[in-house]
Amino acid sequence: MKMQLLNLRFGNKANKCLGNKAFVFSLDIIVAVVVVVSILAASTFYVAKAGSESVTNLHTVRVGSDVLALLDHDGILDTLSIENIEINLNRVLPINYQMRTLVNCIGGDQIAVETTDIFPQDRFVGNGKRVFVTNTSKYCIADFSIWLK
């Protein structure tokens, strides 16, 4: 009888069953900890990668979109006049931004309005489009590029 008990892994049958359950439970905990640590590492990586600069970039694009929406709503874009668009663009654009606007109409020439001649190469430049119809039923697309000074 003693020889049979010595051959068992944990002594008697009751202890053997509890030992196997404890091993499986420990293995489950190890797998769960590895999964949780992996998820935390991945989320930390993506949060660090996103940074706080992306919020500023999104705000810049929204300012450009709002400026074109205001020019469209006031009927400034409908005139297709470079001087009129330039004057009103400088009036509504916040002072710390520069902007370039290109207006293309079907069957017409391209109109370019810029607040500066210098296009930056070393900073974020936001881009967007606005589609509008003039009073003379011309379909036009206004592309804009906007950046901080």
pLDDT tens per residue across span 68-110? 999 999 999 999 999 999 999 999 999 999 999 999 999 888 9
Angle among Cα 64, 67, 68 to the nearest 5 degrees reads 90
pLDDT of residue 53: 61
Q: What is the mean pLDDT of residues 4-12?
A: 52
Domain boundaries, the chain: 2-50, 55-148
Cβ neighbours around 107 below 10 Å, total: 6
Q: How far does Cα 7 stand from its chain's mean position?
A: 64
- Asked whether residue 55 carries a pLDDT value surpassing 80, the answer given is no
Give the contacts of 126 (CB within 8 A, at least 6 positions apart): 57, 60, 61, 64, 145, 146, 147
Side chain identity at residue 85, one-letter code: I
- Of 5-9, 34-38, 130-134, 141-145, the one with minimum mean pLDDT is 5-9
Rounded to 5 degrees, what are φ and ψ at 36?
Answer: -65, -45
pLDDT of residue 45: 87
Token pair, residue 18, equals 């509890």
pLDDT of residue 64: 95
The more confident residue out of 70 and 9 is: 70
